[in-house]
A and B are shown apart, each in its own frame.
Chain A
Amino acid sequence: MTLPNITLADFLPLLPALIMVVGASILLLSEVFLSSSASRGYQAVLTVATAVASGLTALGLMFEPPHAVFLGYGVLDPFSSFLTLVVCVGLALAALASVSFLRKRGAERGEFYALMLFASAGMSLLAMSAEFITLFVNLEVLSVATYALTAYLRRGTRPSEAGFKYFILGAFSSAVLLYGTALLYGATGTTKLADMAGPLSQALATAPALVYTGAILVAAGFAFKVAAVPFHMWTPDVYEGAPTPVTALMSAGVKAAAFAAMVRVFLTVGKGMDPHMPLALFSTLALLTMVVGNLLAIPQRNVKRMLAYSSIAHAGYLLLGVAALFVTAPGEHFRILGASALTGGTPLDVARSDALRGILYYLLAYTFSAVGAFALVSALERREDEDKGTAWDLERFSGLAQRRPGWAFAMTAFMLSLGGIPPTIGFMSKLLIFQSAIDVGLVGLTIVAVLSSAAGVYYYLRVVVYMFMRPVPEGAQTLERSWGTEVALVISTVAVVLLGIIPGRVSEWLAHAGTLFGQ
């Protein structure tokens, strides 16, 4: 009997996820010994510490050479390590924002943080999956954890509706993804992404319908997870009904991990396909998502809902970056100068690596800005107003600049960053994505992206106008401060502003992270 050689080194890329699972297990087990009135302040601290440890591990792994592990079922490459880092940032900020949110509702429990950690471990594992069954199981780990988190607070109709909707539609989308996977397996006889490209090009000649249906179903499954139009219907209701810190984690982490998996699947499997097919698919999705997301966000007076629609719009800009990965004939006015010229390789490789970097940086930028914005929303909302639906109304932000100038400044930074206005990280990341799209010749699509993000500035700046130019409403609630939210706001504001001006070390890491195994 010959056994394949799996060594301890194969477990190395799992380390960030393992740290999170261990942290979650400690939280679950320690909860057993606590009475219902015991102080649970340590839980958020432990979660943040776990996220930091895991993020630092991922940072260390980023400089390992890319290689396959577990006989090709997983990979370790800078791309997946950077993504784990983004997930850890989102997790730490969301956990900090949860402290006062849960305390105000008397719902502080170890299970909440444990599920957050499990979801993040699933995201990290999803980013490194290189085989369809592994990928599906990891996608389910993160989905099941977020379903439970969405339904965590079940008082009132909104959370139950959100949890139920997310669960049913999420299960449906997983089934669609799995069906597409089964069709691709039927066409190729393998589930390993790396082994698929060869048989796929043969299958494309004999049974093109099978391959295309499979690829489109897989793309539809991912499009649901990243909330791309026309698979976005669930997003506003679920984002609004879920506890705000969970919404923050969902908008940043789930989206990031699903994007990473989608990029890996289509870049690896797409080699066996006509490249025009993924290009057409992602261009269409990007166009629809950018335009519809922004148009639907404009009339929203509910800030949480507005952020949900804005998250759809941001998925659109990211899809533009994904579409740029599949252009085979780059434009003639190809950029020679710049850091990417140093890496060598054909113009196409450079363009692809640029687009990958753009996507990763955009995900990092969106994580800081969106999680920060959701943290502030959670600081302003009150449990009693949720059923009336006024908890997240724009009026809440009226005169915030007079009452809490620091909060108003932070929110302004997040809004400018989401709108893509310099000098913020949001501007830099949009610049990178649009630049890589122009480089490969997607000029028309980029013009649409710029125009629709200009439309987006309207609803972002409206929040700023309310904060600075409206009087404080009479009988406004007192604004309680809590250390968790304040720390989250300070970290994300500093990151949003500073990384927009001096990217520093992050750009070094990023220059490294545009490498996908097997590319």
Chain B
Amino acid sequence: MNVELVLFGAFALLTLLSAGLVILARSPINSAMALVSTFFFLAGIYVLLWAHTVAVVQVLVYAGAIMVLFLFVIMLLNLGESAHRGKPTLSRILGGASAVGLLGVLGITLSRVPAQPANLGPQAQATFGTMASIGQSIFTQWLLPFEAVSLLLLVAMVGAVVVAKSRI
């Protein structure tokens, strides 16, 4: 039993545990904080997969920026603990049914996956997923869409300011 496997087991368990807390916690703040820790442990699994960039982006963007927004909204709306528990409303029944259905579909798909991974195209190179290779492909191959995204962000920012300001 090597270290990698132990680490994977620990991260996987902790991810499942905190993901469970997200849906079981009664106060939205606790739920959000559990989501943060889920993201952190997921980032650990990414590191084990040698996807360092994805791990860093996961922590920076999800655990950092997006969760702060979540917390802001929770505080602004001043959400308290959920009051009604256990009442079977239509949306709850539908939600539960679709969750069970999804679980079934996932189970069936998982049982059909061959034990040996299929050879899906060319083998990934050793540098795949590192910062250097991602930077290289962004600034050569994907240059045009990358620049277009910068334009998109500028437009979105100007648009958001125009729509949000009340002068006009």
Do residues B163 and A163 form an inter-chain contact, with CB atoms below 8 A? yes
Known contacts A121-B151, A137-B152: does B159 contact A6 (CB below 8 Å)? no
Q: Which residue of the partner chain B has the closest CB to A153?
A: B168
Q: How far is the CB of B29 from chain A (nearest CB, A)?
A: 29
Contact with A along B140-158 (1 / 0, CB 8 A): 1111110011011011101
Flag whether A169 is at the interface (Cβ < 8 A): no
Do residues B143 and A109 form an inter-chain contact, with CB atoms below 8 A? no
Known contacts A1-B136, A107-B168, A121-B151: does B145 contact A144 (CB below 8 Å)? no
Q: A154 is contacted by which of B149, B152, B156, B168 (Cβ under 8 Å)?
A: B168
Question: Which residues of A, 137-159, contact B by the 8 Å Cβ criterion?
Answer: 137-138, 140-141, 144-145, 147-148, 151-155
Do residues A137 and B143 form an inter-chain contact, with CB atoms below 8 A? no
Which secondary structure characterizes the binding site on chain B? helix
Q: A151 is contacted by which of B140, B149, B154, B163 (Cβ under 8 Å)?
A: B163
Please name all residues of chain A whose beta carbon is closer than 8 Å to the beta carbon of B142 when the two chains form the complex.
73, 133
Please name all residues of chain B whose beta carbon is closer than 8 Å to the beta carbon of A115 when the two chains form the complex.
155, 158-159, 162
Distance between Cα atoms of A152 and B161 in the complex (Å)? 10
Do residues A36 and B167 form an inter-chain contact, with CB atoms below 8 A? yes
Do residues B162 and A152 form an inter-chain contact, with CB atoms below 8 A? yes
Please name all residues of chain A whose beta carbon is closer than 8 Å to the beta carbon of B154 when the two chains form the complex.
118
Flag whether B160 is at the interface (Cβ < 8 A): yes
Q: B144 is contacted by which of A107, A134, A145, A151 (Cβ under 8 Å)?
A: A134
Q: Which residue of the partner chain B has the closest CB to A155?
A: B168
Do residues B148 and A137 form an inter-chain contact, with CB atoms below 8 A? yes
Flag whether A195 is at the interface (Cβ < 8 A): no
Q: B158 is contacted by which of A36, A105, A111 (Cβ under 8 Å)?
A: A111
Q: How far is the CB of B21 from chain A (nearest CB, A)?
A: 30
Q: A148 is contacted by which of B151, B152, B162 (Cβ under 8 Å)?
A: B162
Please name all residues of chain B whose beta carbon is closer than 8 Å to the beta carbon of A151 when the two chains form the complex.
163
Known contacts A131-B145, A134-B145, A141-B152: does B163 contact A111 (CB below 8 Å)? no
Q: How far is the CB of B112 from chain A (nearest CB, A)?
A: 15
Flag whether B121 is at the interface (Cβ < 8 A): yes
Which secondary structure characterizes the binding site on chain A? helix
Please name all residues of chain B whose beta carbon is closer than 8 Å to the beta carbon of A134 when the two chains form the complex.
144-145, 148
Please name all residues of chain A whose beta carbon is closer than 8 Å to the beta carbon of B136 when the two chains form the complex.
1, 3
Do residues B151 and A21 form an inter-chain contact, with CB atoms below 8 A? yes
Chain A CB within 10 A, most for which of B148, B156, B163: B148
Distance between Cα atoms of A71 and B160 in the complex (Å)? 33
Known contacts A138-B148, A152-B168: does B159 contact A71 (CB below 8 Å)? no
Flag whether A28 is at the interface (Cβ < 8 A): yes
Do residues A6 and B140 form an inter-chain contact, with CB atoms below 8 A? yes
Do residues B141 and A4 form an inter-chain contact, with CB atoms below 8 A? yes
Do residues B148 and A148 form an inter-chain contact, with CB atoms below 8 A? no
Chain A CB within 10 A, most for which of B145, B155, B161, B167: B155
Q: How far is the CB of B154 from chain A (nearest CB, A)?
A: 8
Flag whether A122 is at the interface (Cβ < 8 A): yes
Distance between Cα atoms of A125 and B141 in the complex (Å)? 17
Do residues A144 and B148 form an inter-chain contact, with CB atoms below 8 A? no
Please name all residues of chain B whose beta carbon is closer than 8 Å to the beta carbon of A147 when the two chains form the complex.
159
Distance between Cα atoms of A121 and B150 in the complex (Å)? 13
Q: How far is the CB of B72 from chain A (nearest CB, A)?
A: 21
Known contacts A152-B168, A154-B168: does B148 contact A141 (CB below 8 Å)? yes
Q: How far is the CB of B145 from chain A (nearest CB, A)?
A: 4
Q: How far is the CB of B30 from chain A (nearest CB, A)?
A: 31
Do residues B143 and A28 form an inter-chain contact, with CB atoms below 8 A? no
Known contacts A111-B162, A148-B160, A154-B168: does B155 contact A122 (CB below 8 Å)? yes
Known contacts A1-B136, A137-B148: does B121 contact A6 (CB below 8 Å)? no
Distance between Cα atoms of A28 and B156 in the complex (Å)? 14
Q: How far is the CB of B81 from chain A (nearest CB, A)?
A: 31
Distance between Cα atoms of A151 and B163 in the complex (Å)? 6
Q: Which residue of the partner chain A has the closest CB to B145?
A: A134
Distance between Cα atoms of A301 and B168 in the complex (Å)? 29
Q: How far is the CB of B83 from chain A (nearest CB, A)?
A: 30
Flag whether A428 is at the interface (Cβ < 8 A): no
Flag whether A70 is at the interface (Cβ < 8 A): yes
Distance between Cα atoms of A238 and B142 in the complex (Å)? 35
Distance between Cα atoms of A28 and B155 in the complex (Å)? 11
Please name all residues of chain A whose beta carbon is closer than 8 Å to the beta carbon of B168 when the two chains form the complex.
105-107, 109, 152-155
Q: How far is the CB of A18 from chain B (nearest CB, A)?
A: 10
Contact with B along A56-72 (1 / 0, CB 8 A): 00000000000001110
Flag whether A321 is at the interface (Cβ < 8 A): no
Distance between Cα atoms of A36 and B165 in the complex (Å)? 14
Question: Which residues of B, 25-59, contact A by the 8 Å Cβ criterion?
Answer: none
Q: Which residue of the partner chain A has the closest CB to B148?
A: A137
Q: Which residue of the partner chain B has the closest CB to A147?
A: B159
Please name all residues of chain B whose beta carbon is closer than 8 Å to the beta carbon of A118 when the two chains form the complex.
151, 154-155, 158
Please name all residues of chain B whose beta carbon is closer than 8 Å to the beta carbon of A28 when the two chains form the complex.
158
What are 6 A-to-B residue pairs whose CB atoms are below 8 Å?
A3-B136, A6-B140, A71-B141, A74-B144, A105-B168, A118-B154
Sorted from nearest, which 6 A-B pairs have the closest CB atoms?
A: A148-B159, A70-B144, A137-B148, A134-B145, A73-B144, A107-B168
Given contacts A141-B151, A144-B159, 19 further A-B pairs with CB under 8 A are A1-B136, A3-B140, A73-B143, A105-B168, A109-B168, A111-B158, A111-B162, A112-B162, A118-B151, A118-B154, A118-B158, A134-B144, A140-B152, A144-B155, A148-B158, A151-B163, A152-B163, A154-B163, A154-B166
B interface residues (Cβ-Cβ under 8 A, vs A): 121, 136, 140-145, 148-149, 151-152, 154-156, 158-163, 166-168
